[in-house]
Amino acid sequence: MKIAVINFSGNVGKTTVARHLLLPRMPGARVISIESINADQDQDPQEHVIRGRQFAELQEYLQVVEDVVVDIGASNVEELLALMRRYRGSHEDFDYFIVPTVPAGKQQQDTIATLAELSRIGILSEKVRIVFNMVEDGSDIQRVFDPVLAFVSSSPVARISLECRLGSNEIYGRINGSGADLSALATDPADYKALIAAATDSTERLALAQRLATRRLASGVVPELNACFVALRLNENASAPEAKPKQTRARAVP
């Protein structure tokens, strides 16, 4: 399976979706990060970085791999989509386009623009999915994401499941750049309470306490990631029924 994670906007969680939602649930897959500026020196060994201008190289690479997640940095989206139009039919190299979005108004408008552009290129709605990210507990997703839902309701350019939602969680910041697997962290069998009680050094106790906190956070977030991945319904027959958002007032494409 070949998936592009894309949005004109930054700060919507594209890397979280690529590394922590998709990659662990696609055995044998790897991440390609397309970003003009990448200052991360502690890069995940599963991640291969190319530059946004190397589109021909990306196409060639997609022909010889089975499973890959392409994380497209916001600074490269416009250029990559322009190249996709130039290389007619190149969008067909991807099985799905995942578009993360967050509650902030600007990011939702950028999400709408992204969905509209994908449709203009000729990408079918059944190949486009939306991940509702950074959703606060107890929030009304229909209300919070009304602009995006209204646009998709009036212009069916993507498949939507309101169950494909992720909350804010500090675990992503804790493990950023480490390559850690959240499922492994969640099932870490260490008895940290006993280890903390036995430790004689305060620095060691603090490190063990941090590991315990990380495990607890991971244990809470893994079921959410699992549920969201199931809700994406990847590899499902395109003719299968889908959940439709509540009819809301349409929004114009910016």
**What is d(CA 249, CA 147) in angstroms, rounded to the nearest whole number?**
8
Asked if 80 and 72 touch (Cβ cutoff 8 Å), the reply is: yes
Q: Using DSSP, state whether 231 is helix, strand or coil.
A: helix
Domain spans in the chain, listed from the N-terminal domain onward: 2-171+222-232, 176-220
Domain 2-171+222-232 in CATH 3.40.50.300? The answer is yes
pLDDT recorded at residue 236: 67
pLDDT recorded at residue 146: 97
Q: Could you tell me the mean pLDDT of each successive run of 10 residues in the chain, 254 residues long?
A: 95 94 94 66 54 78 93 88 89 96 96 96 95 94 96 95 94 86 94 95 95 94 96 70 44 40
Asked if 49 and 38 touch (Cβ cutoff 8 Å), the reply is: yes
**What is d(CA 34, CA 18) in angstroms, rounded to the nearest whole number?**
12
pLDDT recorded at residue 42: 47
pTM: 0.84
Rg (C-alpha) for the chain, rounded Å, is 19
